[in-house]
Structure 1
């Protein structure tokens, strides 16, 4: 297998690869077609169910009608007998249609013995249901009305059971689209249930109307019938139709016939069935029967006819929806197949185009690789000579670098010594700066202490002034006491006069003024004592006032002299301290500048030492690099020889690529004398030219080596 693939060209290999990649695409396409076909089959089975339901719905309608007419005939209505025969013929025709469609779709819808028995519906075989009808038809005239109702109800139940069975087996109840699903609910469930209820209500109410009276229980039952017909049947049909109309646009586009026919049909059903429900409600609302049987039958027949007509309209529209779905699925399937085939053809064409382009591009690349191999071989020879010259230059450059490195070592030693001296000077400057700063701090402390003394003297002066002020206040108080004492003396004088006058008046009074005279005498004595005391106080105040004043003045003058002398001394000390502080501050500034300069010198020396160290390190690295270059030049020479060998290997690779691109068979044809072309001949010609170019390269590289030596010394 591998040998066969090697014989193929690149284009054919890509074609085979494309075919292999196309196989999964084809498989996926087949699976997609099967899925589309399954969806179409699903819709087809739904249409089978509609086809089967049509004759069953006709049979259901006619059997329900036969039930009502049979009731009338059994109650003695002679006209109903002829109508009964006509209806029986219609039912026979309906069952014939059922047999025909059963032969066509019965097996698909599992109306077989096995299919029905599996679902416990063996009694719903079409032939058995028809046989039950034939039996009922033959004995209808001999049945009682109640028996006729029971027989008809059983037959109607079987027909509805067949409708339920076809709904299950035809996928109608599993419809995936909302519009067709709710329309299916109308045709398969809602309308048949409504029709059955109308027939049941009609038979029940007709009997009451013909009897001409209604009991309370019958009124309740009739009201229940009316309510169920309105809320359960009519409202359900209306809601389903509204959903169909709303959702129709969301599936395969809007169907205008569906919109028109369903809207018109449901309106007729709402009107006729609504009238029937209202009339039935009216009958249940009164104990008197006021509606005639014929009037009720007219409304009932109209409602039943409208429901069957709407059923036909609905199932026709359902068939159209199913047909639209099948058409859409078929179109999708066809387009999928066409697009898949086009994609495969397009992929194959693109692959072939890419293969041809690659073949052309690779052929050109092979030619360029062949030329590059020859050029590489020539360059490798020249590279050997150049490497030898580079090795010699590197040796001379290494010697010069070693001499430079030794000189830099000496410079580095001198710089390090200068750096040590600068460091010591910086330490001495730091010590001087610290000492000057400490002296400046002491002077500043002394200045602050003198300032504090000055402030204390000021406080002393303030305290003395305050004491003088207080003494002045005392003197003032003493003066006021003297003033008050004079007032007391005046009062004493006045009191003495009053006492004297009182004594005179007491003497005039005689015996009656003796007591008052005693009092006046005592008051006079007290006044005399007060006067003496006041005079003593006044004498004392006059004696102490000059002394106090003299003491205050003497104290104030002494304190002022002391404070003035202390302030002059403090001011002189402050001036001396300020001059010392200024001198020390100048010393500190000068020392700081010296310290800064020393540090700058030290930093510069350190940077210089680092720079010299970096230069030395760089020279050492350059020396190592030069030695590495010398070693690498030798390696380059060896690599050049290996490169020459690689050029030969490259020619072999080119040959292999040509075999891959053209195929081994076409490659062999081109190598043959009859088919020599651009692929091989240039390779052989370049191989012959290798020696010539190599010799020329060696001759040219010797002067190049001589040119490299001055460059090495200059470096």
Structure 2
């Protein structure tokens, strides 16, 4: 058997309880069935008998009412009243019939009741005929014959049918009573047998369990003796360990005090780091803001460069327009130069005419002397005009050359300036782009620095919290060390008390052995012979090995 004592006791009492429950269930079942049978008997005697009596009384009332129709001095109002009375009797009969039919179960009872209904209907029909004949004065002989030949036999048949049904109800009630008595006797026999079996089973289980308990308690008492000796030895060891624990707790408390001071210094350094991290975060945010604004300024400068580039393009266009204007001026000067050629031709023609006039004046002599002076003056003017025309032509040629030279010089210088400006512009754009790129890197790095500073601040805060927890834990450990010292002192005292309790335990074991074995107790109960007996038993060998 591998079950515990508790399980075995529970199973034993469970078996006994099952027998008791069986007895209770059997008693309840027997009582219920007996009560059911008696209830059926009471219903038969109460309702069915009452209804049968009502049926019989209805037959008696119907016979009395029908016979009253044969009275010679019966008034018309009395006859009407008797007819109404017959109708009331029939109505009551139908009501009783409905109540009776609801409880009819057996076919035999149904057949008896149908015979009763048949005779009742025959009797009611004869009574109605008697009622009809009573209204005819000349039908007295027919009335008497109907009374003797029809109504009398019908009434008698109805009375016999009701008597048979009454007898059937009484017989059925007697049968139910006999069944109830038989069932009660059977239930009593079964209950008696169950109680007897339960008593025998409980007795057997009690003997088996008591023997097993005695065996196990003997082994327990033996193990308790060994345990008491071991506890005594352990109590001495605990006393020694408690003293060593006291010394170790004192040293631990001192070390924890030093550690607590170091943790406080670490907490101060972490707080300082947290402040610096917060300051770094603020500076990083400011740098990020300034870098962002610098990036915006450089982008605005690039926009200005683009505008300057556009202005230089406009200036180049203007320069090309001025060059065209210079070309127009040169063209005009050349046109003026061409006009001087015309003047030279006119001067030549004028000098030729002046010479021809002088020749003609010389031919004319004294008469042409005045004309000769005029011709001479015209010649002089023509010469002067020719000289002026030559000077103008020379000046115009020089002006055309100077205008071309100036235009080319201006164009070259402006081109050089525009090219230099474009080179400077491209260089400025490149530098501005580098500035934007650098500022973007600064913004990105500032964000990283800001994030890192925030993480450092959070880490420092977490470290500060952890240092506080460490300090709190050290405080608890220090407190626990003090408690350990107190516990060690208490354990030392407890070990002394435990030694005293061991002696008390040995005395209690002796009382336990006396309780188990009575006067058969002896010193051999704690000997190796006792142990060898348990070792031979496969069930108790594990307990001995554990002991």
Q: Shorter-normalised TM-score: what interval? A: 0.5 to 0.7
Q: 2:492 aligns with which of 621, 634, 638?
A: 634
> What residue in structure 1 maps to residue 335 of structure 2?
none
Q: Residues 607 and 446 (structure 1 numbering): CA distance in 2 closer, same or farther, change over 3 Å? A: closer
Is 1:186 equivalent to 2:51 in the alignment? Answer: yes
> What residue in structure 1 maps to residue 67 of structure 2?
203
CA–CA separation in structure 2 for the residues paired with 1:417 and 1:203? 131
Q: 2:506 aligns with which of 612, 626, 648?
A: 648
TM superposition score normalised by structure 1: 0.44
Q: Residues 448 and 374 (structure 1 numbering): CA distance in 2 closer, same or farther, change over 3 Å? A: same
Q: 1:379 aligns with which of 217, 230, 242?
A: 230
Is 1:623 equivalent to 2:477 in the alignment? Answer: no
Q: Residues 684 and 593 (structure 1 numbering): CA distance in 2 closer, same or farther, change over 3 Å? A: closer
Q: 1:364 aligns with which of 215, 229, 243?
A: 215
- Give the deviation of 1:383 after TM superposition: 0.4
> What residue in structure 2 maps to residue 390 of structure 1?
241
Q: How does 1:587-626 map to 2 (within 5 A)?
A: 587-605=442-460, 607-608=462-463, 610=466, 613=471, 616-617=474-475, 620=478, 623-624=481-482, 626=484
CA–CA separation in structure 1 for the residues paired with 2:451 and 2:289? 19
Q: 1:273 aligns with which of 123, 127, 143?
A: 123
Q: Residues 410 and 226 (structure 1 numbering): CA distance in 2 closer, same or farther, change over 3 Å? A: closer
CA–CA separation in structure 2 for the residues paired with 1:421 and 1:385? 54
- Give the deviation of 1:637 after TM superposition: 2.1
CA–CA separation in structure 2 for the residues paired with 1:225 and 1:374? 104
- Give the deviation of 1:415 after TM superposition: 2.4
User: Conserved in 1, the CA contact under 8 Å of 2:119 and 2:161?
Assistant: yes
> What residue in structure 2 maps to residue 227 of structure 1?
87
CA–CA separation in structure 2 for the residues paired with 1:684 and 1:583? 96
- Give the deviation of 1:583 after TM superposition: 6.3
> What residue in structure 2 maps to residue 306 of structure 1?
157
Q: Residues 641 and 408 (structure 1 numbering): CA distance in 2 closer, same or farther, change over 3 Å? A: same
User: Conserved in 2, the CA contact under 8 Å of 1:190 and 1:236?
Assistant: no
* Structure 1 unaligned regions, length at least 5: 1-17, 44-174, 249-254, 451-573, 690-715
Q: 2:282 aligns with which of 431, 445, 464?
A: 431
Q: How does 1:312-331 map to 2 (within 5 A)?
A: 312-331=163-182
Q: Residues 36 and 350 (structure 1 numbering): CA distance in 2 closer, same or farther, change over 3 Å? A: same
- Give the deviation of 1:277 after TM superposition: 3.7
* Structure 2 unaligned regions, length at least 5: 1-15, 302-428, 532-547
TM superposition score normalised by structure 2: 0.56
Identify the structure with bigger relative contact order (alpha carbons < 8 Å, sequence gap 6+). 2
2:69 partner SS: helix
- Give the deviation of 1:357 after TM superposition: 3.3
> What residue in structure 2 maps to residue 474 of structure 1?
none
Q: Residues 622 and 186 (structure 1 numbering): CA distance in 2 closer, same or farther, change over 3 Å? A: closer
CA–CA separation in structure 1 for the residues paired with 2:474 and 2:68? 126
**How many residue pairs get matched?**
376
2:42 partner SS: coil
CA–CA separation in structure 1 for the residues paired with 2:257 and 2:58? 121
- Give the deviation of 1:367 after TM superposition: 0.6
- Give the deviation of 1:240 after TM superposition: 4.5
Q: Residues 366 and 236 (structure 1 numbering): CA distance in 2 closer, same or farther, change over 3 Å? A: same
Q: Residues 322 and 350 (structure 1 numbering): CA distance in 2 closer, same or farther, change over 3 Å? A: same
User: Conserved in 2, the CA contact under 8 Å of 1:444 and 1:581?
Assistant: yes
- Give the deviation of 1:260 after TM superposition: 3.3
